[in-house]
Amino acid sequence: MLLRYLDVVLVLLAAPILLLIGVSAGGYAIGGGTWIAMRAIGVGVERYAGSTGDAGRQIGIRLGYLLGRLFVLALAVILARRSGSRGDGLAALLLIVGAYTVQLAISFATRPRRSAKP
């Protein structure tokens, strides 16, 4: 279970270390907070999509969430840049890209495999 949310764990565990070495606190807070909020919403979306019986509806719900998440995360980077400095925007962007990369790698590693039929 912890492996499934490794991206969130890394965002939380890396915060004190990165803030101590001088990463922008505002950018990290905006990027990390948005990332964690969108992951929490994603859990609800996955449960809702899984409860529907229609495959087309499931795809539509998941696609809508993925596009919405992309939009919200882009807005978080813009907000961090506008409310602070260039360093805030860069910190938010790098955090989101790093967390997304970890989530993508874990999703590939833990996805169900199809067994080859002889």
The pLDDT tens digits of the residues spanning 7-60 come to 999 999 999 999 999 999 999 999 999 999 999 999 999 999 989 888 899 999
Are 13 and 102 spatial neighbours (Cβ–Cβ below 8 Å)? no
Cα(101)–Cα(111) distance, integer angstroms: 15
Contacts of 12-16 with CB under 8 Å at 24 or more apart are 12/36
Res. 78: pLDDT tops 70: yes
Residue 99 lies in a domain: yes
Domain range for residue 84? 3-109
Burial classification of residue 41, based on how many CB atoms lie within 10 Å of its CB (0-12 exposed, 13-18 middle, 19 or more buried): middle
Provide mean pLDDT across the span 73-77.
96
Residue 83 lies in a domain: yes
pLDDT at 85: 85
Whole-prediction pTM = 0.87
Residue 60 lies in a domain: yes
pLDDT at 113: 72
Residue 84 lies in a domain: yes
Residues near 4 by beta carbon (within 8 Å), at least 6 away in sequence: 106, 110
Q: How many domains does the chain have?
A: 1
Cα(103)–Cα(35) distance, integer angstroms: 11
Residue 86 lies in a domain: yes
Residue 114 lies in a domain: no
H-assigned helices in the chain: 6-20, 25-51, 55-83, 86-110
